[in-house]
Amino acid sequence: MPLPDFSLLALPAIHFGAAKFALLPQLAGSFGNNILVVTGSHALQQSGRLGSLLEALQASGFRTTHLAVDREPSPELVDEAVSRYRALSINVVLAVGGGSVLDAGKAISAMLLYDLPVERFIEGQEAFMPHDGRKVPFIAVPTTSGTGSEVTNNAVISRVGRNGFKRSLRHRAFVPDIALIDPELMVTVSPELTAASGMDACTQLLEAYTSPFATPFIDALACSGLEAFSRSFLAACTDQSTNSGVRGDIAYAALISGIALANAGLGIVHGFASSVGGLIDIPHGTLCATLLAEATRENIAQLRLIDQAHPVLLKFAKAGAILSGVGGEDIASGCHRLQETLDQWQEQLSFPRLRCYGLLPEDFDDIVVTTRCKSNAVQLDHAAMKRILSSRW
């Protein structure tokens, strides 16, 4: 059978490995000497790495401005930052932090050359305008292993509440110019955050792999990411959290998940991440962690109603073999292994339920109406979506 046609989103210049963090002054220098550094509000400062980075940049002749971000980026956060820094003629934005920090930096780099509010360019918002792709050069340095934002073309912007949203500012040009992934930055991440962000990466790998838009290229990447994830996930959450090799496996899985999702799309869990995430204040990784096992169970059940030998069931079975470490079985056994593994992780790592974040059963009807999942493994009706939410309420 001939290979199907496919196209790929552009990738950044990727620098992966321990001690790569020291390369930042050299890498940033190609864009100019006026740099906006966007970080989280605590971890990088407490580790001493922020001070070292700023000193190294200043010693290399950079004029540095620092912005600390303490939450997922809202339109207000982005607009305030852009208003404050637009007149400084920033040459490059460098974001060092978790997914929220990278999204904030990506959005700021995209809006520094505009006088309009960012909400005008967010998909699905009133009076939406397509962005033309002009931006200030952007360097992404993740300090957690989850979103893959270091290689994607979108920044997730949210406003939480009854009329809230969680949607993307997107353009092909928003792929970072440089992505630097140093596993040594991740050895101090807490077990809880490691588990939540890791499950985001696992969800992205599994959803992209089973997407109707996946290609053989994406399949190969996703399986590679799942193999690295399986090898080190529990170790990173427990007794080997300070092992940079273990952290490297999870960082690699997250990186690959970003490439996979950007080219194949995501499924129902990330559909809920938009609709539920705009309604209640729940960390994105936590939402993925608590929904993945049940969403996988529903997807497999619906595919079996169509065809017990459905090609996507074969993919779920292969993922089950990779994540469980037990291969060579038939489709039914492989799918069982996948479900069993996800259920075990859910129990062992105590992923919280949706009710812990204030979601109410009476919210379910509105949620399923607004949830989109065109890249899901199988089309789910509202009843199926409600079963997923109810099981984790």
Tell me the average pLDDT of the chain.
Answer: 95
Burial of 45 (0-12, 13-18, 19+ CB in 10 A): middle
Q: Examine the domain organization and report whether 122 and 242 are in the same domain.
A: no
**Structural domain includes residue 68:** yes
How many whole angstroms separate alpha carbon 231 and alpha carbon 221?
16
pLDDT in tens, 21-37: 999 999 999 999 999 99
Give the percent of the chain with pLDDT over 90.
89
Q: How many structural domains is the chain composed of? A: 2
- What does the DSSP assignment read for 151-205? G-SEEEEEE-STT-EEEEEE-GGGS-SEEEE-GGGGTT--HHHHHHHHHHHHHHH
Select from 164, 186, 208 the last residue of a domain. 186
Taking only the tens place, the pLDDT of each residue in 201-220 is: 999 999 999 999 999 999 99
Closest CA to 333 of 324, 346, 344: 324
**Domain end call among 124, 156, 186:** 186
CATH assignment of the domain containing 24? 3.40.50.1970
pLDDT in tens, 282-315: 999 999 999 999 999 999 999 999 999 999 999 9
Is 2 a domain residue?
A: no
Q: Is the pLDDT confidence value at 50 over 70?
A: yes
pLDDT average, residue stretch 228-253: 97
Residue 43: predicted pLDDT: 81
Cβ–Cβ < 8 Å for 359, 345: no
Q: Tell me, yes or no, whether 164 and 266 share the same domain.
A: no
- Regarding whether 136 and 93 lie in a shared domain, the answer is yes
Average pLDDT over residues 337-359: 96
Structure token digits, residue 386: 């409600």
Q: Output the DSSP codes for 297-325.
A: HHHHHHHHHH-TT-HHHHHHHHHHHHHHS
Tell me the CA end-to-end span of the chain in Å, nearest whole number: 45
**Residues 187 and 242: beta-carbon distance below 8 Å:** yes
Q: Among the three residues 159, 186, 213, which one is the final residue of a domain in this structure? A: 186
| Nearest in space to 202 (alpha carbons), one of 234, 232, 237, 229 | 229
Burial profile 173-192: b = 16 or more Cβ within 10 angstroms, e = fewer: ebbbbbbbbbbbbbbebeeb
**pLDDT (mean) for 136-161:** 95
Task: Indicate whether 8 belongs to any domain.
Answer: no
Residues near 83 by beta carbon (within 8 Å), at least 6 away in sequence: none
Indicate if 208 and 250 belong to the same structural domain: yes
Q: 16 pLDDT exceeds 80?
A: yes
**Which structure tokens are listed for 307?**
């065809």
User: Quick one: 101 and 35 in the same domain?
Assistant: yes
Look up the CATH number of the domain holding residue 201: 1.20.1090.10
Same domain, yes or no, for 182 and 209? no
Query: pLDDT digit string (tens) for 151-201?
Result: 999 999 999 887 788 999 999 999 999 999 999 999 999 999 999 999 999
Query: Tokens standing for 316?
Result: 């779920």
Tell me, yes or no, whether 44 and 111 share the same domain. yes
Q: Does residue 36 lie within any of the structural domains?
A: yes
Q: What is the pLDDT of residue 118?
A: 96
Whether residues 134 and 158 share a domain: the answer is yes
43: its two tokens: 């971890």
Question: Do 257 and 385 fall within a single domain?
Answer: yes
pLDDT-based confidence at residue 337 (cuts at 50, 70, 90): very high
Helices 382-391, 284-306: axis angle to 10 degrees equals 130
Name the DSSP letter for residue 353.
Answer: P
Asked if 182 and 208 sit in the same domain, the reply is no
Distance CA 175, CA 193 (A): 25
- Say whether both 47 and 156 belong to one domain: yes
Q: Is residue 6 part of a domain?
A: no
Beta bridge partners of 180: 15
Given this model, what pLDDT does residue 1 score?
67
For the stretch 76-133, pLDDT in tens is 999 999 999 999 999 999 999 999 999 999 999 999 999 999 999 999 888 899 999 9
Side-chain half-sphere CA neighbours of 13 within 13 A: 10
Distance between CA atoms of residues 178 and 174, nearest Å? 11
Max CA pair span of the chain: 64
Tell me, yes or no, whether 164 and 230 share the same domain: no
Please say if the pLDDT value at position 45 is more than 90.
no
229 inside domain:
yes
Q: Does any domain span residue 106?
A: yes
At 61, is the pLDDT very low, low, confident or very high (cuts 50, 70, 90)?
Answer: very high
Report CA-CA distances (Å) from 282 to 31, 149, 153, 273: 36, 19, 23, 9
Whether residue 1 is contained in a domain is answered as: no
Q: DSSP secondary structure string, 226-292?
A: HHHHHHHHHHHHTTTTT-HHHHHHHHHHHHHHHHHHHHH---HHHHHHHHTTTTS---HHHHHHHHH
At 360 the three-state DSSP class reads coil
**In which domain, by residue range, is 214 found?**
191-391
Q: Dump pLDDT digits (tens) for 313-334.
A: 999 999 999 999 987 679 999 9
